[in-house]
Amino acid sequence: MKQSALLFDLDGTLTDSGEGVINCVQLALRHFGIPCEDRQALRYFVGPPLRVSFPHFGVPEDRVEEAVAIYRSRYIPVGIYENKVYPGIPALLSALRDRGFPMYVATSKPESMAVEVLRRFGLEGFFTRICGANLEGSRDSKEDVIRYLLEQLPEGQPPLMIGDTIYDVEGAAAFGIPTVGVRWGYGDPEEMLRAGATAVLDTPEDLLDYLTGPDGSGAE
């Protein structure tokens, strides 16, 4: 059996994008006069598509595209760079590459922005394909992105999702794909387990051990 194709989420899994996301969300919410000083509450925006998150915080459905445009007016030139790689991620990706794991990115961040982030941090070369949302919103949810990625995945590479939120678990489950959750991101570990995550791990080192150990996703 070939090694699993590892489908990595980006925000909250490979990089900590919270500062930039939250700063841009605050700009958009202030435009609508919506209270937005509780940055802890705004962590909700790291992971789900913006078009899902803004209505949750009171943006009218018919003005969601306006909110997205305001968000991106700051995110594209500034917020995208208010970001950092989680400690241990480069070493994890290097070790997995050395062991022959094919690796992909499946993110609900727009694909062009995901490529820019990974290129900036020198991580782009670890991945066979970086798949994300499109700017117009026709491919927006994690389920949409995973469907798009699976169309490009070679046969014989059983996929395994790795992410930090319930959206990763549910998006992968729609295609019968298991998910391993990580605790260093922005999701609720217990929520991920209830949704069906096979494990939720504490550190990148734990993830490497899980994937390369006898009960993980290495070659059989």
Q: Which residues are catalytic?
A: 9
Which residue shows structure tokens 């927006």?
A: 140
